[in-house]
Amino acid sequence: PNGGLTHNAALADDYTSAASIGGTARSEKKSKKKRKRGKSSNSKADDGISNEGISRSHIHTGMTADFGSKKHKKSVLSPLHLKGMFINERTNLPVYQHSADIVHLISNNDVVLVVAETGSGKSTQIPAYVHESGLLKISAKAAAANVSSHLPKQKYGRTICVTQPRRVAAITLAKRVSEEMKCIPGTIVGHRVRFDDTTDVKGHNTTKIIYATDGMLLREAISDPLLKRYGMIALDEAHERSLQTDVLFGVVKRAMAARKREPERHKEIENVQLKDDADETLYFEKDEEILIRMKETAVALGLPPLRVCVMSATLDVDTFRSFFPGSSMIKIPGRQYPVQVVHSDQIYEDYIDAALNTVINIHKNTPDGDGSDVLVFLTGQDEIEDLASLLKRHLEDLKNDNSVDQNVKGDVVQNIKGIGTSINSGCSMITNGVLICVLYASLPPEQQMLAFRPKPKGCSRKVILATNIAETSVTLDGIRYVVDCGKHKSREYKSSTGMESLVVSDISKAQAAQRMGRAGRVSEGICLRLYTKESYDLLAETTVPEILRVNLAQVVLQLKSMGIHDPRSFSFLTPPSADSIRKSFEVLAALGAIDESMDLTDYGKEMSQLPLDPIYANLLLQSSKFECVSEILTVVAMLSAENIFYHPGRGGDDQGGLAARGAAAHRRFASYEGDLPTLLNVYNAWRKEASYTRTGNLRKTKQKISKGKSSSALLSHGDWCTQNFINGRALTRAHDVRSQLSDLCSRLGMDIHSSCSSEMTTFYRCICAGLFLQVASRLPNSSQLQVKKNSRYNGAETIPSRGHYKTKIGGTIVSVHPSSTLFGRNPAPKCVVYTDLVHTTRMYIRGTTQIREEWLNG
């Protein structure tokens, strides 16, 4: 019954029966019955989504269409005629049959909700349909006809912006759609993510479809709350409820209200929070005035209405319906085969080990070849790297195991040469016919691509080790087996302590369903859950939106710089607690971004110009005062590019002493003072090498540059990075980020060349002044501590306090993370600043740097 799997340590015999995704036969029957009886369009079916027929004449605001039933198919419009590349692939996607209806709905409604499984074609196709239909051109012209002719009005409202919570999705989607439209990336289609913008390469406003991270559009709304350029905003991956997407819902709703062509509309701000004192009422009045001004501007400029398309794999329909009253919905079933779910019969303390056994078991006992790939969900990079190493070693051991079918595996040895050995190859390697791919958000995009590419020659099965990034935001073809650890890593903020940390926690049932769904895309699949049925039953139904879990200081700063004086009156999809907004005000006040009347200060305005968390914006701005802008620019840029250090052979697989060599190489950069100066050392050493390489190979370099390669790209591939176990691409990215940040600093009038050169005290004082909210002091050695462990290893333990710290804000007991250069230092520094709090087996501080306590007083 387990699809050829033998029972192993990780699996139990019992499993729930095959579960199909999408509209069930029962709900379809029910909806047909309702249609027969002629029920109203808002009647609800089992899944909370109403199923009503659609024809051109029936389309009206508030209607809902489920295109799953046969009856609907007769009434849909003929699909659009497509041009460009990949026509067959495009016309085979589930959304294609409804292309004309989707465009029709978008043209007739302010807000359209599109619900369709991952891989149905929402993100790549819907923007293209709207673009190719010319809908935005027509409505921009119509709106412009109503205003005086001297305005350059046609340029407004002609672009589509598709927002994504993740960089990788924005980049890959823009690339794919450019290919489909047969255009050079950056011309008609481009991406805009932090520190990387490929749009408008042919001139101002020339890109017509922009794939942007939600944060980038939010940033644009600061300077242009009417979002004038756009005729349609597609908010993709709405179910993820990422912080920035959630804020965008309100921002887009405000812009939509201001651009709506209905003069009688006056009450535009909905979901207003109750105010409890007169001062706050004053703020609300200011917000209303701003909306009136926005409306006047929209009319004067002849802005066309802003159309909104909310796209999602699953949607909490009621929440969105009440937020966007009168919105229309289309539900398109994906192609989903049944997936058999198998729960384990025991709780695993070490789910990495359970995942290892499960994958090996799958590989040993099931046929490989096309459509046999395995997707393993883990919580983060460390776990993924650990499992990748362990798997590689075990797969090598399997080569000598006679019980394994060796069909194609004979050629493999030849093919692995040159792939598995490159240290910058993204941990991808073919072993015993299995290609191990890793996929997590901070992995550089080029390395992420390996998981999407077709299997190379000599590879009979792909095993993809991924975080929740693979749940919905990317499409992976060919997966038949899903192994789900039942956990994810998420940011969590305690407004009681004002502290945010990365926590490994249980997923929700909705996430478990999405993970399971990844297995049934190409054929019937199997989902192996490394947790019991009882544990599953205890999971929350849906994931708590990020806005209820994280530090809101950056959001509050953004809202204030958009002219929203009181964020409590802002129209949030799910309003955050008053307490967490109050805490954010406290942080912003402590940083000097707002004054006693909650108004943005000039310093706060400067902070909002920098695409950084307020804490790091403050650090950078402080560097002017301490005359070390150059060093702090480097540190902030290096912090934004993750994975600078390459750690080979994690998880016990040392690959011939590489791990020890890597650690020794890294030690050469280590600063006694901590991690931030260590990052500075790495960058400076790399730049020094770069100038040396440039001088030594001037002629060669010139030739390569003239062939179109940038100098920094050349440097990243140098031997230097390999020898020093440094991720060259991450360094190149840090270099790019640094130059963009330094442009922004120049615009703010800062002297970007100011440097503390040999006298580093000012640098440390600056770090202290910048990160003063993230300080921890060493505990006296003699006391004993009760340390609470996390859910993965339940219980508490008593440990000696030696080497432990207490955070200044929140008073949490923490230890220095083993990845930090200050880990295990004897004597441990008395006082440190840190960049992250991480909650794994216990609370850790990462990115630590020692400071002197007296510096905190000014």
The residues binding ligand CDP (CB under 6 A) are 93, 116, 118-125, 172-173, 176, 475
Tokens of residue 212, six digits: 């942007």
Residue number, 522 or 856, with CB nearest to ligand CDP: 522
Residue number, 416 or 449, with CB nearest to ligand CDP: 449
> Taking a C-beta distance cutoff of 8 angstroms, is the pair 546, 502 a contact?
no
| Radius of gyration in angstroms for the set of CA atoms belonging to the chain, rounded to a whole number | 28
Residue number, 88 or 223, with CB nearest to ligand CDP: 88
**Nearest approach, Cβ of 176 to ligand CDP (angstroms)?**
4
Residue number, 189 or 376, with CB nearest to ligand CDP: 189
Q: 322 CB contacts (<8 Å, ≥6 apart)? A: none
Residue number, 122 or 409, with CB nearest to ligand CDP: 122
> Taking a C-beta distance cutoff of 8 angstroms, is the pair 650, 389 a contact?
yes
**Nearest approach, Cβ of 549 to ligand CDP (angstroms)?**
25
Backbone angles phi, psi at 594, to 5 degrees: -130, 155
Burial (0-12, 13-18, 19+ Cβ within 10 Å), 150: exposed
Q: 504 CB contacts (<8 Å, ≥6 apart)? A: 379, 380, 487, 488, 489, 790, 791, 792, 839, 840
**Nearest approach, Cβ of 211 to ligand CDP (angstroms)?**
10
Residue number, 117 or 566, with CB nearest to ligand CDP: 117
**Nearest approach, Cβ of 183 to ligand CDP (angstroms)?**
15
Cα–Cα distance between 765 and 847 in angstroms, integer? 16
Q: DSSP label at 154?
A: G
Residue number, 124 or 693, with CB nearest to ligand CDP: 124
* DSSP codes of every residue in 531-555: S-HHHHHHS-SSPPPGGGTS--HHH
Residue number, 432 or 473, with CB nearest to ligand CDP: 473
Backbone angles phi, psi at 728, to 5 degrees: -60, -40
Residue number, 472 or 807, with CB nearest to ligand CDP: 472
**Nearest approach, Cβ of 514 to ligand CDP (angstroms)?**
11
Closest CA to 529 of 383, 346, 382: 346
Helices (H), 539-628: 553-561, 578-591, 602-609, 614-625
Burial (0-12, 13-18, 19+ Cβ within 10 Å), 652: exposed
**Nearest approach, Cβ of 472 to ligand CDP (angstroms)?**
7
Beta bridge partners of 211: 162, 191
Residue number, 122 or 363, with CB nearest to ligand CDP: 122
Residue number, 315 or 775, with CB nearest to ligand CDP: 315
CA-angle at 167, arms to 743 and 434, nearest 5°: 135
Residue number, 125 or 554, with CB nearest to ligand CDP: 125
**Nearest approach, Cβ of 239 to ligand CDP (angstroms)?**
12
What are the Cα distances from residue 234, in Å, to 114, 308, 715, 795?
Answer: 10, 6, 38, 45
Tally of CB atoms within 10 A around 234: 26
Residue number, 445 or 810, with CB nearest to ligand CDP: 445
CA-angle at 215, arms to 212 and 217, nearest 5°: 55
Residue number, 119 or 157, with CB nearest to ligand CDP: 119
**Nearest approach, Cβ of 119 to ligand CDP (angstroms)?**
4
**Nearest approach, Cβ of 297 to ligand CDP (angstroms)?**
34
* DSSP codes of every residue in 165-232: SSHHHHHHHHHHHHHHTT--TTSSEEEEETTEE-TTTTSTT--SEEEEEHHHHHHHHHH-TT-TTEEE
**Nearest approach, Cβ of 131 to ligand CDP (angstroms)?**
14
Closest CA to 842 of 807, 810, 802, 796: 796
**Nearest approach, Cβ of 117 to ligand CDP (angstroms)?**
7
Cα–Cα distance between 464 and 426 in angstroms, integer? 12
Tokens of residue 32, six digits: 């047909």
Closest CA to 391 of 424, 418, 364, 422: 364
Helix (H) or strand (E) holding 373: strand 373-377
* DSSP codes of every residue in 96-117: GGGHHHHHHHHHH-SEEEEEE-
Residue number, 174 or 615, with CB nearest to ligand CDP: 174
**Nearest approach, Cβ of 316 to ligand CDP (angstroms)?**
18
Cα–Cα distance between 753 and 742 in angstroms, integer? 9
Q: At what angle do helices 629-640 and 761-770 cross, to 10 degrees?
A: 50
Residue with the two structure tokens 């009760």: 786
Helices (H), 595-726: 602-609, 614-625, 629-640, 658-667, 675-696, 698-706, 711-716, 719-724
Tokens of residue 573, six digits: 């999809």
Residue number, 125 or 742, with CB nearest to ligand CDP: 125
